[in-house]
Chain A
């Protein structure tokens, strides 16, 4: 149980384009999903908390207009990186919470912006 999927697993795009990443909880309903970013050999950095049916809560320093988050249903949250630049290249990982505090992670999306 507690399976989270993410799509796409890898994306390469040109600078200035937008990229959408989907996160789905496959076997449970998740009222809360989280989006993280991880740079090589660094720890996970929480970007935002996504609650179904409400606006996402962004961590300090994360541009909400650049990283658009939509949590349309109890099983789907999306992260759109708008006008991507090379410095946005990173490993983006979502997680979802089926029960008290336990977070289960999706497999991640590796974004490369040329």
Chain B
């Protein structure tokens, strides 16, 4: 079964700094997608960024980028120029294409951006 591990339960960073959130996963599949979801205090789940496993290029979305290391099964999220609004729970998630097609989540990580 696929598993997703977020080893850091909590982090804090100063506004405008850069922070990296780590995620590792375990799968025997070769075709899959990875996601980072953000859950602010409003509790809404918001997609931050996605990465297709077949793409070697790391995905970027404005201040958010990933470091996808397929061989190491690592998928970290880098947040540049952190803002107070980035304070949230962050969940890493995995879905395999052609298998169970169910989204598997990590346990989440609480990020606090301090002024």
Partners in one complex: no
Binding site for B on A (CB under 8 A): none
Binding site for A on B (CB under 8 A): none
